[in-house]
Structure 1
Amino acid sequence: MIVGVGIDVAEIDRFGAALQRTPGMADRLFVERELYLPSGERRGVASLAARFAAKEALAKALGAPAGLLWTDAEVVTEDTGQPRLVVTGTVAARAEALGVTSWHISLSHDAGVASAVVVAEK
């Protein structure tokens, strides 16, 4: 049964400009595994914008309650390239309260826009 669906888009250039303008913003939004590739290279702005859109979509799927921490939702990439959500803390508590047992996530970026869809299911 679907508990919630969220979708969000982020303009890549605008998101990149915000990251440059506010240097600490990336650390408030992302955990280290989201910021860096396994090689140690920092992810590109399009990938980060898609991950940010996923966090926004996740919040919408959970009913957009106040108090969720950005770093309590992590977008990880499987060896296959498929994205997966890992939730902890405030996000995990809200998901548990709603009975969420699984997540479905899709990310995309093209033509200057990053997008994400998240489905919460029980």
Structure 2
Amino acid sequence: MIIGIGVDTVDIARFERQLERVPALRARLFTPGEQPLRPASLAARFAAKEALIKALGGSDGVSWQDMDVVRGADRAPSFAPTPGLTAALTARGGDRIHLSMTHDAGLATAFVIVEHTGAAAYDQDSVTAADQAPTEETRST
């Protein structure tokens, strides 16, 4: 059963200007593994995090650092099952997150679906231990 759906779009140039004006935003909004990415990839991840907040119905119980976008071996993006995200998802009755992101023509867009499948807890089946510490080649949008 679908618990929530979220979508967000970010103007990449505007987002890049914000990162330049306020350098502390990079560390506040992104996990250490995400921070080195180029602005278009960061904008897509920011859109993904905002879309997730919308799909969850709000940000209560989840921080920016709890929402870590990783790439699997098949290059599909997903949210790493961090303790904070798992707790927030469980509190809302969800146990699976679907994520799609793209960037083109100066915009980054992300779609998120939070689902209840009946699993005991959030265990994103596309996230493996290798995804918890992605390599540089798996860290692009």
Q: Same fold (TM over 0.5)?
A: yes
Q: How many residues align?
A: 116
State the 1:88 CA deviation: 2.7
Deviation at 1:83, TM superposition (A): 0.2
Aligned equivalents of 1:108 and 1:65: distance in 2?
23
Counterpart position of 2:107: 113
- Aligned: 1:56 with 2:56: no
Whole-Å Cα distance in 1 between the matches of residues 83 and 18 of structure 2? Answer: 26
Q: Contact conserved, 2:60 with 2:88, CA < 8 A, in 1?
A: no
Q: Matched residue of 1:55: which SS?
A: helix
Tell me how large the CA RMSD over aligned residues is.
1.3
Amino acid at match of 1:86: A
1:18 paired residue number: 18
Matches within 5 A, 1:53-92: 53-66=47-60, 68-92=62-86
Partner SS state of residue 94, structure 1: helix
Matches within 5 A, 1:29-40: 29-35=29-35
Q: Could you say what secondary structure the match of 2:65 adopts?
A: helix
The CA distance in 1 between the partners of 2:75 and 2:58, in whole Å, is: 28
Q: CA deviation at 1:64?
A: 1.4
Instruction: With a CA cutoff of 8 Å and minimum separation of 6, indicate the structure with the bigger relative contact order.
Output: 1
1:37-75: CA deviations, max 9, x gaps?
Answer: xxxxx3211110000000000000000144531111110
Q: Tell me the equivalent position of 2:130.
A: none
Contact (CA 8 Å) 2:5, 2:113: kept in 1 or not? yes
Q: Which runs of 5+ in 1 are unaligned?
A: 36-41
Q: Which amino acid aligns with 2:29?
A: L
Paired letter, 2:49: K
Write the distance in 2 (CA, Å) between the matches of 1:90 and 1:43. 23
Give CA deviations for 1:8-39 in whole Å, capped at 9, x if unaligned: 0000000000000001101001111112xxxx
Structure 1 partner of 2:4: 4
Aligned residue type for 2:3: V
Q: Which one is further off, 65-74 or 97-106?
A: 65-74
